[in-house]
A and B are shown apart, each in its own frame.
Chain A
Amino acid sequence: MRRLIASFLLAALIVAGAGCAAVKPWERDVLARPDMAWEPDALEAKRNAHVHYSKEAALPGGGAGGGGCGCN
């Protein structure tokens, strides 16, 4: 039984691994498009981060903790 589970896990790992592909530097054509960015609107993202670190007392954005004075 243990062997069966191990075989299954190994097979799953191989299948999952086959789906991985390293994108080479010269293949970033589509990935470099602005609409592929995590945050398509840079200004909106900055505004959201500003509100976030003001309200959550964390500076900057989701990074290290800040003073939390709420004055930003």
Chain B
Amino acid sequence: MKCTRPRSRRGAALALIAGLLFAVKALALGDGQKAPDFKAPSLDGGKGLSLAAYRGKVVYLDFWASWCPPCLTSLPLLEELRKEFPSDQFQILAVNVDQDFEKARKFLERTGVGYPSASDPKGRLPELFGVETMPTSFLIDRGGVIRYVHNGFRKGDVGPLRERIAQLVAAHNK
């Protein structure tokens, strides 16, 4: 018996199957886009953290995990960087994605990191921001607009990062 199904219909079915098999990944947020607001529980068990609470300051939003070696390199260096800028103008907000958040807590205690860290073991926030690598950081201006995305971390990254932060802090002080 001859198959009478139209070719276009068969093509559409194949395209649908291919689409389901290779689902398109979410696009990462980038320079010039508005940073979505979020609320998440704090890693230290304190009150929840919200990005909107820091509106008016330059925010460095850092996604990290205790199993990610470059993240562990970055945290103490970021803590030093934080102290270089006035706290009413610059804020570092971290989002930890560890499933076992005890490891993350212990690391923070050991290194004396003073900036707040949210806990997101289900990965809702990295999904929202389209994080493509660990660590990823978003430098957000006082109006809540992303001005720079930093993928990965090496010790030498602190210098250029400091300049970018200083530019953003200074831009609003003029």
Contact = CB atoms under 8 A, between A and B. Distances in A.
Interface of A: 3, 10, 13-14, 17, 20, 22, 24-29, 32-33
Interface string B19-58: 0110001000000000000000000000000000000000
Given A14-B21, A26-B123, 15 more contacts: A13-B17, A17-B20, A20-B21, A22-B25, A24-B131, A25-B131, A25-B132, A26-B65, A26-B126, A26-B131, A29-B98, A29-B99, A29-B100, A32-B67, A32-B68
A32 B65 CA distance: 11
Contacts of A24: 123, 126-127, 131
B90 interface: no
Contact of A28 (B3, B20, B25, B134): B134
A26 B136 CA distance: 10
Interface residues of B, number: 21
Give the interface SS of chain B, mostly helix, strand, loop or mixed. loop
B65 A29 contact: yes
Contacts, number: 41
A26 B134 contact: yes
Contacts of A14: 17, 21
B123 A27 contact: yes
A22 B21 CA distance: 11
Question: Which 8 residue pairs spanning A and B have beta carbons closest together?
Answer: A26-B97, A32-B67, A17-B21, A26-B126, A26-B123, A25-B134, A29-B99, A25-B133
Nearest to B133: A25
A17 B97 CA distance: 27
A25 B126 contact: yes
A3 B17 CA distance: 17
Contacts of A22: 25
A26 B131 CA distance: 8
20 contacts: A13-B17, A14-B21, A17-B21, A20-B21, A24-B123, A24-B126, A25-B131, A25-B132, A26-B63, A26-B65, A26-B123, A26-B126, A26-B134, A28-B134, A29-B97, A29-B99, A29-B100, A32-B67, A32-B68, A33-B67
